[in-house]
Amino acid sequence: MQKFDQSPTDPAFVQNPYPFYDQARQSGDFFWWSDYNMACAVSHKAVQAVLRDRRMGRECPPELAPDIPPALRPFYEIEAHSMLELEPPRHTRLRGLVLRAFTSRTIAALAPDLTQICNALVDAFPTEPFDLLTVYAQPVPVIIISRLLGVPEERADDLLRWSNAMVAMYQARRTPQIEADAIAATNDFTAFMRGYIDKRRKSPSDDLISTLIAAEQDGEKLTEDELITTCILLLNAGHEATVHTLGNGIKALLENGSPDITDTCVEEIIRYDPPLHMFTRWVYEDVTIGDQSFQRGDQIGCLLGAANRDPAAYDHPNQFDPSRKGAQNTSFGGGIHFCVGAPLARLEIRIALQILFARHPNLRLAEDPSYGDVYHFHGLERLMVCTH
């Protein structure tokens, strides 16, 4: 496969990674990304194949597990219980228990809360130009996931801070300071969740934490460590990706003329400029995909942002088309690790955007938006707008 060099922290790439994906895709379904020392799937067909193939997965083969420095162990001890990082049978059990608490009825019942939250936030918009990310896109998902879990909304700022510090561990720009901040956040987050879970054991309520505490599968309940990790995962994943999707989506709508916010439009927002651009898989047994062969221990990067702009899957893929029909986008992953929060994310995006543009049809950009140096995430640093 062809080799390409491209720093994921290069300013031009951070602002627009899609030309690089288009260039790499011309060499085939896979290319070798030298900066990651890893094969990457770049076509829609190859990304979908890797995401769904059970001969690959998220857990690192034990013979390749790295030694974790003692200073970083608190973070990776939390990760060790994350269903995002596990394979069956543990993944099956954890996901099954979470899905029992995360039902479509539970999600649908959040619509009135979402509507109330969005309207209250819009009511408080300043009259002068302001950052829509901090005033709207960040609070919406963190408040709703707090309500869903049952943790106090007044701790939303702490949850946001801890979450931002922890997910920075996955960014290409990771530094010793980012690691230190992530460990501090992990310790604070864990202590908070441990105390809150203890409180809910004593006095259950109608919330996700109480449901998870009570949920059993084949006579097994979540352990305390699994409970803590699952709540942290739901908060981190449930807020980070939605903030980026809302920001990127509002930018796309303002740049292309804001249409009716239909379910089809929401899917196009999720396809066009997704919040997560790379999701990796370990190869567990020798496997051939297309004309590429891989061996146990290889790692493959699935480039979700590239798959969503593949001209073999979408007509004029670099155009934003809110009425687009086409292949299922890859933004929520695929296979057994398909995002458990996808129905909630779609509901949040639809309601938040419908209310925003109904209340402020003349919303416009106050300055050119710029993306943050957060790869393999992809989201705006700020989104300055005016309402008049």
* Model pLDDT, residue 101: 76
* Model pLDDT, residue 17: 98
3-state class (DSSP) for residue 117: helix
Q: Mean pLDDT in runs of 10 for the chain (388 residues)?
A: 97 98 97 98 98 96 93 94 94 89 87 97 96 96 90 88 93 94 96 92 90 79 90 87 96 91 97 97 96 96 98 97 94 95 95 97 96 96 94
In 124-155, which ranges are continuous DSSP H helix?
132, 139-149
- Residues 241 and 58: their CA atoms lie apart, in Å, by 19
Instruction: Estimate to the nearest angstrom the gap between the alpha carbon of 68 and the chain centroid.
Output: 25
**Where exactly are the structural domains of the chain?**
3-386
359's enclosing H/E stretch is: helix 342-359
Which residues have C-beta within 8 Å of that of residue 239, sequence separation ≥ 6?
Answer: 138, 141, 142, 145, 159, 160, 163
* Residue 77 contacts residue 232 (beta carbons within 8 Å): no
Answer yes or no: CATH 1.10.630.10 is held by domain 3-386: yes
* Model pLDDT, residue 177: 96
* Model pLDDT, residue 220: 78
How many angstroms separate the first and last alpha carbons of the chain? 52
* Residue 213 contacts residue 227 (beta carbons within 8 Å): yes
* Residue 246 contacts residue 134 (beta carbons within 8 Å): no
**C-alpha dihedral over 335, 336, 337, 338, to 10 degrees?**
60
* Model pLDDT, residue 348: 97
* Model pLDDT, residue 214: 87
3-state class (DSSP) for residue 363: coil
67-72's contacts with Cβ under 8 Å and 24+ in sequence apart are 71/179, 71/183, 72/179, 72/183
Using the structure block, give the residue that is written with the tokens 């709540």. Answer: 231
* Model pLDDT, residue 157: 87
